[in-house]
């Protein structure tokens, strides 16, 4: 390995590559390639200096600058100006940003560490790809105490990959939007053994959840990596502190809650009381739009009017609450929406739009998802 080492990750795994670099205390650059991604890792005497996706186009931002923007430490305009200055004067990105007072050294280091941790975590989950290590001089200004050995990174990374499988299904995508449904104090009561560091992370995430920001923006603003941030979201969700509002914009998942006595009976009564209001909303919709719709061919119809949208949203919320009531009473999700009518959670006409087109549902890990007929 005095000159270099290249190969396929199927034949020579990434764990073997890391161990070899660490044990032989090599200095150089390791390039890893998959079908869509190219990653570069720098090592100094077997210690990890940095890891980041390679910049493929000249006008792309450096990954650390991009993370500074995402975390709110730097504006995009200044990040682009810093990139131009680096290209013009061949100066390191950190020097440009810090010398101009746009971000502190601490912020730059934090962003660099987030990119490194996320990149290594991503690579350790690769099943295929290729690698190429070339011994060369690596210039950096990081203190030796700030660097971690390749073997330590490997052990920590493999532990994270193993733990990932235990909670990643709770947060299927970081495009999901969450809202709060409980207090942070109650969440802490459900987590008696939570450590100080995990508590601090969870509190940051909880404070940023507002029912509008997607999960990836919450994690960026909390300045957490993918692994730690996703675990926080999963813990808060399972602890009853937050619930998903959307799964990325196409559907409305129903919150997972544990059954609590006979609360379903009270919710069933409340849903029955809402039925007359739903009927009035349907009448209003028909009065304002049914005659006009009858004169328009299906191919000519435009998007729903605001009144139509309100009626649809109201109807889906009624069905959503019925599904939640069923879950609370039976401890499981209904196999079909028809069960809600059969057991008195909904009137029979609530399973169709005002145009008499039936809704349909899909089953997912977070419970059933109600979709409008036009999405079928």
Q: Domain ranges in the chain? A: 4-165, 171-249, 263-375
Say what the pLDDT of residue 247 is: 65
Per-residue pLDDT for 283 more than 70? no
pLDDT in tens, 45-83: 989 999 999 887 767 899 999 999 999 999 999 999 999
pLDDT band at 114 (very low <50, low <70, confident <90, very high): very high
Short-list 291, 283, 298, CA closest to 373: 298
pLDDT in tens, 154-178: 888 889 999 998 998 999 899 999 9
Round to the nearest angstrom and report the end-to-end CA distance of the chain.
57
Say what the pLDDT of residue 157 is: 87
Per-residue pLDDT for 372 more than 70? no
Instruction: Give me the helices (H) in the chain, please.
Output: 14-23, 63-70, 76-89, 93-99, 105-123, 150-167, 184-189, 196-208, 215-222, 226-238, 263-294, 306-330, 338-342
Per-residue pLDDT for 238 more than 90? yes
pLDDT in tens, 174-229: 999 999 998 999 999 988 889 999 999 999 999 999 999 999 999 999 999 999 99
Order of strands across the sheet with 367-371?
Answer: 252-253, 367-371, 360-364
């Amino acid at each position: 390995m005095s000159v270099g080492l290249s190969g396929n990750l199927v034949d020579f795994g990434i764990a073997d590559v890391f161990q070899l670099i660490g044990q032989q205390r090599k200095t150089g650059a390791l390039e890893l390639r998959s079908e869509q991604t190219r990653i570069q890792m720098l090592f100094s005497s077997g210690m990890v200096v940095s890891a980041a996706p390679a910049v493929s186009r000249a006008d792309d931002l450096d990954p650390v600058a991009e993370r500074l923007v995402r975390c709110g430490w730097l504006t995009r305009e200044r990040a682009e100006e810093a990139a131009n200055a680096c290209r013009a004067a061949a100066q390191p990105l950190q020097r440009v940003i810090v010398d101009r007072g746009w971000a502190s050294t601490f912020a730059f280091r934090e962003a660099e560490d987030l990119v490194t941790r996320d990149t290594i975590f991503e690579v350790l989950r690769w099943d295929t790809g290729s690698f190429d290590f070339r011994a060369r001089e690596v210039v950096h200004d990081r203190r030796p105490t700030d660097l971690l050995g390749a073997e330590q990174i490997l052990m920590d990374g493999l532990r994270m990959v193993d733990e990932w499988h235990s909670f990643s299904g709770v947060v299927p995508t970081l495009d999901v939007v969450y809202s709060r449904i409980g207090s942070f104090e109650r969440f802490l009561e459900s987590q008696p053994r939570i450590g100080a560091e995990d508590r601090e992370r969870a509190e940051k995430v909880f404070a940023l959840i507002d029912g509008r920001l997607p999960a990836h923006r919450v994690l960026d603003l909390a300045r957490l990596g993918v692994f730690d941030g996703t675990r926080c979201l999963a813990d808060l969700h399972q602890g009853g502190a937050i619930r998903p509002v959307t799964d990325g914009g196409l559907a409305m998942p129903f919150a997972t809650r544990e059954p609590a006595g006979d609360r379903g009976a009270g919710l069933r009564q409340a849903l029955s009381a809402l039925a007359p209001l739903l009927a009035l909303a349907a009448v209003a919709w028909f009065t304002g739009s049914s005659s006009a719709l009858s004169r328009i061919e299906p191919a000519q119809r435009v998007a729903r009017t605001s009144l139509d949208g309100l009626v649809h949203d109201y109807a889906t919320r009624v069905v959503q609450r019925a599904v939640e009531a069923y879950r609370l009473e039976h401890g499981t999700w209904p196999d079909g929406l028809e069960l809600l009518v059969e057991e008195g959670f909904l009137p029979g006409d609530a399973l169709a739009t005002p145009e008499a087109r039936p809704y349909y549902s899909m089953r997912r890990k977070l419970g059933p998802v109600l979709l409008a007929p036009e999405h079928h």
